[in-house]
Amino acid sequence: MSAWKNTTTSYGLISILIHWVSALTVFGLFGVGLYMMSLSYYDPLYQSLPWWHKSIGLALLAATIFRLVWKTINSKPAHLPEHSKTTVRLAVSAHHMIYLLLFATMTSGYLISTADGRAVSFFGWFEVPALISGISGQEDIAGDIHFYLAWSLMILAALHGLAAIKHHVIDRDQTLIRMIKPH
Ligand code: HEM
Ligand code: HEM
């Protein structure tokens, strides 16, 4: 047994690490995304910030795929006995929705980047080819979709975070603790 894996009562260190690093990354990408769109062409960050946004976004995509694989080959922490069926259903639906929004946001971001047929650089290390390009209005449509999906993801993630804090502060149960400290 090791603390790295999930158990039937708690998340393990790998799941915990990916959860918190992903959470910070999602908030960061959102902030950087909005900020970079406000820059003028002559700003020194005009070229570099989108490069970082896309590279980090692709890293998040890889981490999220790994996360789902890790989730399926691991034990599942059982729902806490004090939670009602409705609470559990709401939480699980929110988690599924977050995964869905993550993939949809990242895919639409990729489609903005590949609209003109250019590949996406992964930290200058290698390039992810433009598999889908040249659809009429692709850049604008994918851009609008990316914007609304990113907002939806932020709102849902914020509600999800508030729910976790409510469990900790008001209900005083183990919900938040077991996403922080394996036991
Ligand atoms: C301050 C913000 C956050 C807090 C306090 C928080 C807290 C938690 C807690 C306590 C759980 C475990 C829930 C359970 O056992 O039923 C959880 C699960 C989860 N969180 Fe967060 N979270 C936050 C932000 C985020 C963000 C930004 C994302 C988006 C990437 C996210 C994605 C998820 C997902 C997908 C799960 C389900 C994990 C699984 O597959 O079992 N969380 N979160
Ligand atoms: C969950 C991850 C992501 C979040 C939360 C996010 C968030 C954002 C936000 C808020 C904007 C500003 C939108 C606007 O003001 O119109 C933006 C822009 C952009 N994002 Fe992302 N993004 C993510 C992942 C990605 C990925 C993976 C890529 C590409 C591989 C990408 C490519 C872009 C591009 C090219 C823009 C410029 C938009 C345009 O030209 O219309 N994003 N992103």
CA of 119 to the centre of ligand 1 (A): 32
Q: What is the sign of the dihedral through the CA atoms of 166, 174, 16 and 102?
A: negative
Amino acid at 176: L
- Is 105 close to ligand 2, i.e. is its CB under 6 Å away? yes
CA of 61 to the centre of ligand 2 (A): 13
Q: What is the pLDDT of residues 94-151, one digit of tens each?
A: 999 999 999 999 999 999 999 999 999 999 999 999 999 999 999 999 999 999 999 9
Q: What is the sign of the dihedral through the CA atoms of 85, 73, 103 and 55?
A: positive
Q: What is the pLDDT of residues 46-73, one digit of tens each?
A: 999 999 999 999 999 999 999 999 999 9
Q: Which residues are paired to 128 by β-bridges?
A: 120
Residue 40: is its pLDDT beyond 80? Answer: yes
Say what the pTM is. Answer: 0.96
pLDDT of residue 1: 52
Give the mean model confidence (pLDDT) for residues 11-17: 97
CA of 22 to the centre of ligand 1 (A): 9
pLDDT of residue 183: 81
Q: What is the pLDDT of residues 148-164, one digit of tens each?
A: 999 999 999 999 999 99
Structure-block tokens of residue 49: 């910030």
* pLDDT band, very low/low/confident/very high, at 80 (cuts 50, 70, 90): very high
- Going from N- to C-terminal start, the domains of the chain cover 13-178
pLDDT of residue 79: 93
Q: How far apart are CA 56 and CA 50, in angstroms?
A: 10
In 43-125, DSSP assigns E strands to 120-122
Placement of tokens 């990729």 in the chain: 110
CA of 148 to the centre of ligand 2 (A): 10
| Total residues belonging to the chain | 183
Q: How far apart are CA 24 and CA 21, in angstroms?
A: 5
Give the mean model confidence (pLDDT) for residues 81-89: 95
Question: Terminus-to-terminus CA distance in the chain, angstroms?
Answer: 11
Q: How far apart are CA 154 and CA 136, in angstroms?
A: 29
Atom of ligand 2 nearest to the CA of 144: 16
- Is 168 close to ligand 1, i.e. is its CB under 6 Å away? no
